[in-house]
């Protein structure tokens, strides 16, 4: 039976477009990548084996198309050694830094996150994807997603600490 693509788009279009907008940072480019993604999804639909949800699969197609389009431009796609991403902030001070920061400062810190970290936080908190789903979209093990989320949090705290030291 033919899948109802307009219905799929009704259900997932907004989230897929939002994800692309976060990756591309430009509405026009995001629209173009969305078109390419839907076309790629259409062409590869026969190969969809149902190992992930349709939503996760569509996010994965989105990401690959964005990768092709934005490679070498805006995003740092190179999967840097995960160990190199560790920011040495212990959980305690992180919570303190985040609890005492102003909303404006946190927003500024979020804007300074590395794309790999921002992407995981966006997929988790904006799109509501589980770690397992995010892992499927990114094509990495679940453990990598967990460590990226944790590094993202540490990085935010580090930026906030930097900001508060700068004020002193």
Partner 1 sequence: MTMHDQMRDLLAAYTAGSATRAERQLVGAHLAACATCREELASWQVIRAAVRAASPRVAAPGPQLVAAVLARAGVSAVRGPTGAELTLATSPGHRLRHAAAVLSGSCRWSAVGCGWLRLWSWRWVRRFGPQGGW
Q: Is 84 in the site for partner 1 (CB under 8 A)?
A: no
Cα(129)–Cα(133) distance, integer angstroms: 6
- Note the residue count of the chain: 168
Burial class (CB in 10 A: 0-12, 13-18, 19+), 74: middle
Pick one of 53, 107, 139, 141: the residue that binds partner 1 (CB under 8 A).
107
Cα(23)–Cα(105) distance, integer angstroms: 22
Choice between 72 and 103, CB closer to partner 1: 103
Question: The tokens of 29 are what?
Answer: 């480019």
Residues that bind partner 1 (CB under 8 A): 1-7, 9-10, 13-14, 16-18, 21-22, 27, 31, 34-35, 38-39, 42-47, 91-92, 94-95, 98-99, 101, 103, 106-107, 109-111, 118, 121-122, 124-126, 128-131, 133, 146, 149-150, 152-153, 156-157
């Amino acid at each position: 039976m033919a899948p109802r693509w307009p219905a799929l788009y009704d259900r997932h279009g907004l989230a897929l477009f939002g994800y692309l907008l976060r990756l591309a940072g430009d509405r026009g480019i995001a629209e173009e990548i969305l078109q390419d993604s839907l076309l790629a999804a259409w062409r590869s639909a026969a190969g969809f084996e149902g190992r992930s949800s349709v939503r996760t699969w569509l996010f994965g197609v989105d990401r690959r198309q964005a990768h092709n389009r934005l490679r070498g431009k805006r995003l740092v796609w190179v999967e840097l050694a995960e160990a190199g991403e560790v920011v040495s902030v212990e959980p305690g001070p992180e919570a303190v830094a985040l609890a005492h920061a102003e909303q404006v400062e946190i927003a500024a810190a979020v804007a300074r996150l590395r794309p790999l970290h921002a992407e995981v936080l966006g997929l988790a908190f904006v799109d509501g994807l589980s770690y397992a789903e995010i892992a499927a979209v990114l094509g990495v093990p679940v453990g990598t997603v967990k460590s990226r989320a944790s590094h993202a949090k540490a990085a935010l705290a580090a930026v906030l600490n930097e900001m508060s030291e700068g004020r002193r």
